[in-house]
Amino acid sequence: MYAGQITRQQHRAALRSTTKGAPLMADIEKARAAFDRFDADGDGQVTPEEFKHAMAEMGDPYVTGPVAEAVIKAKDTDSDGRMSFDEFWAALQD
């Protein structure tokens, strides 16, 4: 029965590592790469201006200033007018 206890613990540990809340490392790296593409000056915050430029470079010139602002505002949970990686990541989890 000692072995059974160990198995139960291992089982619980395995469950923990695959819970929905625990993102895969590859997902974070992918999100980080996407975020870095927006964050042109690399300060860890994406401004509406940076977002607009990035979208234009990716072939979408129709994202105007007000549109970019609305997109950033929708993800900007601490309302500082810019999107941090945490806010970007949270938006991806929806």
> From start to end of 1-94, where are the E strands?
45-46, 83-84
Pick between residue 8 and residue 65 the one whose CB is nearest to Ca ion: 65
Among the residue ranges 6-14, 16-24, 38-46, 59-67, the one whose residues contact Ca ion (CB under 5 A): 38-46
Minimum distance between the CB of residue 67 and Ca ion, rounded to whole angstroms? 18
Phi and psi torsions of 93, nearest 5°? -80, -10
Q: Which of 18, 19, 21, 41 binds Ca ion (CB under 5 A)?
A: 41
Q: Which residue has 């105007």 as its token pair?
A: 64
Rg (CA), the chain: 19
Q: Which residues bind Ca ion (CB under 5 A)?
A: 39, 41, 43, 45, 76, 78, 80
